[in-house]
Amino acid sequence: MDDSSSLVVERNIVNHVETSDDVSTMVEKEASDLDQQKAFDRTQKQDYIPKASQETVEKLTQGLLDHFLPEAVKAKTSLEELTSNQEILLETIQHENAKFLDCHPMGSLTETMTKARQYRARLLDVKKDMAALHEKSAKLKKRALKLQQQKQKEALQKEQQRERELERERQLMAKPARKH
């Protein structure tokens, strides 16, 4: 072999070595790129949501509505009833509050109660006085009756005494003699 051929062979070998180094680098790079692509594809597959047909979407929507709509309607009805009851209760409470506000102030009620206590105390005093007067009048009537009975007894005794004295005087008076 001559020098020029050997030189070409050396160059080819060097090129081949350089190319093989490049090739191995390229292969490594391709392998790395392939690994990255596979990892990206796996991530994409996990995040991937397939497109659904319009019919599937409608069926799923109808199923979801069928499942939750009756409970939602019941909840809505219950809430409307509760709201209605609360409004009625609020109205009743406001009406009762208005009644209390229309009543006389508490001061006049307190004043009336104080007067009632005073009148009751006076009434009890009058009642005691009446009972005492009744008792005194009963005692006086009893005493008057006794005095009247005693005076009648004395008057009767005086009358009897006078009759006895008259009878005695008549007996003492001379009797005309009788002719026989």
Rounded Cα gap, residues 131 and 125, in angstroms: 10
Rounded Cα gap, residues 27 and 33, in angstroms: 10
Global confidence as pTM:
0.32
Per-residue pLDDT tens for 100-130? 777 766 667 788 899 999 999 999 999 999 9
Average pLDDT, the chain: 81
Q: For position 49, what pLDDT does the model report?
A: 60
Mean pLDDT lowest among 41-50, 65-74, 118-127, 153-162? 41-50
